[in-house]
Structure 1
Amino acid sequence: LPMILLFKHLTNWGPTGIWFSMSFSNLIVCLYGYVVYRGKGWQKRVLSQAAQG
């Protein structure tokens, strides 16, 4: 939502700016998720907790 407001007030793209900001924010979230997934720090923590039982 903040990116939509940013595009609304700083550009004059109109509805195109809203769709662009939604697509761009989804891309950022996907890239962040990929980086977290590739880091595998989340796996070690879960596996060590399961092993301790």
Structure 2
Amino acid sequence: RYGHRAKLGKGDGIVDMYEKTRAEGFGSEVQRRVMVGTYVLSAGFYDAYYNRA
């Protein structure tokens, strides 16, 4: 497989694996950049940032 994959506990599903893998694998700076990017690309800010371009 590619990259880091978190260990699953008993009863954990695929969504739990994604959440744990991303929490363990991405540093705090990467997580911050993902959240800022998601915020900027949300519907309310899309027009302000991309319609001018």
Per the normalisation by structure 1, the TM-score is 0.35
More helix by share: 1
Structure of greater Rg: 1
Per the normalisation by structure 2, the TM-score is 0.35
